[in-house]
Structure 1
Amino acid sequence: MLLRFRGLMVERLEIESFLTLAEELHFGRTAERLLVSRARVSQTIRRLERRIGAPLFERTSRRVRLPPLGRRLHDDLEPGYRRIQEGVARAQAAAKGIEGVLRVGYLGAAAGEFVLDVTDAFTARHPGSEVQIRETQISDLLGPLRTGEVDVLVTQFPVDEPDLTRGPVVFSVPRMLAVPSGHPLAERESVSLEDLACDKVFACIGEVPVYWQEHNAPLRTPGGRPVERGRSAATLQETLALIGAGKGISPVGADVARRHTPRGVAYVPFTDAEPVEYGIVWRAAGETARVRAFVQAGTEAAAAAGDR
């Protein structure tokens, strides 16, 4: 594509190469970002410099610098080129039905941090979109999805509901056992699932699927010993308060141990429990291009975090 600037015809690749090199000041990194060869970047910049009639970069074997002429051209071109990119992105989003408001729910602080990261990536990619975020509670685990209060939910698995679509696991954390600080298990370096039979394990009150509750707090240990249910709690804070008061124990994720250290509560890692997994869920009947775009952004964020 050719663009005309005051009678000068400039190719799109010339502008992209110039702006990217002005930012990176490195031919190799510029080539990687533009998905072209380093030689192609060099040829493109030389061609642009011939069109301009003067060097736009100062090159040595050790560094690349932007002289005053190059800086002035960058300051002139960058705002307009950014507006072109944003305009194209908005047009594409509108054509796909992505622009507009997306309501995203999350369960727990770790899920909230993940949602914030995905939201940044999603809104940068789709500038015409707005993400509204709200925290959900265990006591109404899937209710906000079903009532339409949120369009997408990042929550703790398992989720196996015929009216909901479950996406991939986006992150997981080790499972730990929260116990009263004076409890015999608090003196241990680790515990096993068999230790759940040593005390009452808290249940969740509210609209919580039975399979979800039994996955996180089973009724029997792997060896078949019964696990006694303790009092029901509606929130994590209530559960930790009861544990601190010596009323029982509860499996939790390591993210809870990092963020919540109430008086009287100790955390002991499991040696044999599966990690706590979080994933994205949405209504099967409410799937839209906007929802799919957010799920894609979340899946990409999870993959990128796994590569680090």
Structure 2
Amino acid sequence: MERRDIEIFLTLAEELHFGRTAERLGVSGARVSQTIKQLERRFGVALFQRTSRQVALTPVGGQLREDVQAGYQRIQEGIAKAVAAGRGFAGTLRVGFSSPLVGEAIMAAAQAFRTRHPDCEVRIREVHLSDAFGALRSDELDLQITELPVQEPDLAGGPAVLRDPRLLAVSAKHPFARRDHVTVEDLARDVVLVPADAPAYLLDAIIPAMTPGGQAIRRETVLTSRQELLTLVSGGAGMAVVGSQATRYHARPDIAYVPIAGLPPLEYGPVWPVGGQTSRVRSFLALLQAELDR
């Protein structure tokens, strides 16, 4: 039974009057009559007894009403909750970030969001490239600001909200540490450390697989956290492509950060599950953009 068929059947079972049923549902009397006749033909049994003076449920119709009513009510309640969640702000908004620069911007937006929507709690947590979308898919997050691009069929997103110039992180003892810049060709001269289990298309966007001259860039997938990255780089296990934010949040005497010529900035943008762009998400993103535009 279609949802509208159920509505007509249950309303007629309550009103026991075709005219009042039509008026209550905002449809024609002919529509009500036609729907009931179609249901009776489909089931092969009468659901209502009709006379010129009254309408009554048959035993089968009464049983059908009993069986359908409880389930239909639960469906209506579920739909109402979903609509309320999409339109309202009461509850919790869970936001993830993947870098300190993004985290700082999210914290500022969260403060503005709490002021505007005091009935909505904002929870913030870090996510790692080694499990870039696990928290979104397991319903632990409603929204994430993360490295772009994102090419996942079950996730939707918006354009970049933050850009960060790329640097090459090397050990302070590395020959590149004394350079004022490196080129993409230089990335082929040592191992480049990359996050384990990150999507291949994202790794290709952050660290190309080949140099413009056709040399392969040796990417080693061993990292699970930024602290592990810094430890391995400082020990000379390899290099890493990072954002310029590293000079602010991860300055260390045993690591040098060298500009990379020929690569555009890293980009960060919003991602959410398909169908999950609620009013809370839209409001938060608007406030985040306002904070970044200051």
Tell me the TM-score normalized by structure 1. 0.65
Give the Cα–Cα distance (whole angstroms) in 2 for the partners of residues 109 and 100 of structure 1: 26
Give the Cα–Cα distance (whole angstroms) in 2 for the partners of residues 203 and 137 of structure 1: 12
Per the alignment, in what secondary structure is the counterpart of residue 261 of structure 1? coil
Give 2:130's aligned amino acid.
S
Q: How does 1:52-91 map to 2 (within 5 A)?
A: none
Partner in structure 2 of residue 99 of structure 1: 90
Cα deviation per residue 1:196-229 (whole Å; 9 max; x = unaligned)? Answer: 01101112113x1100011112211122111112
Give the Cα–Cα distance (whole angstroms) in 1 for the partners of residues 123 and 283 of structure 2: 15
1:257 is the counterpart of 2:250: no
Q: How far does residue 300 in structure 1 lie from its aligned partner after superposition?
A: 2.8
- Identify if the C-alpha distance between structure 1 residues 94 and 213 changes in structure 2 by more than 3 Å, giving closer, same or farther: closer
Q: 1:150 aligns with which of 141, 165, 171?
A: 141
Quick check: 2:86–2:278 contact (8 Å CA) kept in 1?
no
Identity, in percent, stands at 41
Q: 2:280 aligns with which of 285, 290, 299?
A: 290
Q: 2:126 aligns with which of 130, 135, 141?
A: 135
Quick check: 1:163–1:285 contact (8 Å CA) kept in 2?
no
Give the Cα–Cα distance (whole angstroms) in 2 for the partners of residues 118 and 155 of structure 1: 15
- Identify if the C-alpha distance between structure 1 residues 293 and 187 changes in structure 2 by more than 3 Å, giving closer, same or farther: same
Q: 1:190 aligns with which of 161, 176, 181?
A: 181
Give the Cα–Cα distance (whole angstroms) in 1 for the partners of residues 260 and 219 of structure 2: 19
Cα deviation per residue 1:164-204 (whole Å; 9 max; x = unaligned)? Answer: 11112111111100011111111110111111011011121
Per the alignment, in what secondary structure is the counterpart of residue 140 of structure 2? coil
Q: How far does residue 130 in structure 1 lie from its aligned partner after superposition?
A: 1.0
Quick check: 1:176–1:251 contact (8 Å CA) kept in 2?
yes
Per the alignment, in what secondary structure is the counterpart of residue 245 of structure 2? helix
Cα deviation per residue 1:55-78 (whole Å; 9 max; x = unaligned)? Answer: xxxxxxxxxxxxxxxxxxxxxxxx
Give 2:132's aligned amino acid.
L
Per the alignment, in what secondary structure is the counterpart of residue 197 of structure 1? helix
Tell me the TM-score normalized by structure 2. 0.68
Report 1 or 2 for greater relative contact order, CA contacts < 8 Å, sequence distance ≥ 6: 2
Quick check: 1:168–1:299 contact (8 Å CA) kept in 2?
no
Give the aligned length: 211
Give the Cα–Cα distance (whole angstroms) in 1 for the partners of residues 107 and 125 of structure 2: 11
Cα deviation per residue 1:129-173 (whole Å; 9 max; x = unaligned)? Answer: 110111111211111111111100011111121211111211111
Cα deviation per residue 1:22-74 (whole Å; 9 max; x = unaligned)? Answer: xxxxxxxxxxxxxxxxxxxxxxxxxxxxxxxxxxxxxxxxxxxxxxxxxxxxx
Give the Cα–Cα distance (whole angstroms) in 2 for the partners of residues 188 and 285 of structure 1: 48
Q: How far does residue 301 in structure 1 lie from its aligned partner after superposition?
A: 2.6
Quick check: 2:147–2:267 contact (8 Å CA) kept in 1?
yes
Quick check: 1:200–1:249 contact (8 Å CA) kept in 2?
yes
**Runs (5+) with no aligned partner, structure 2:** 1-83
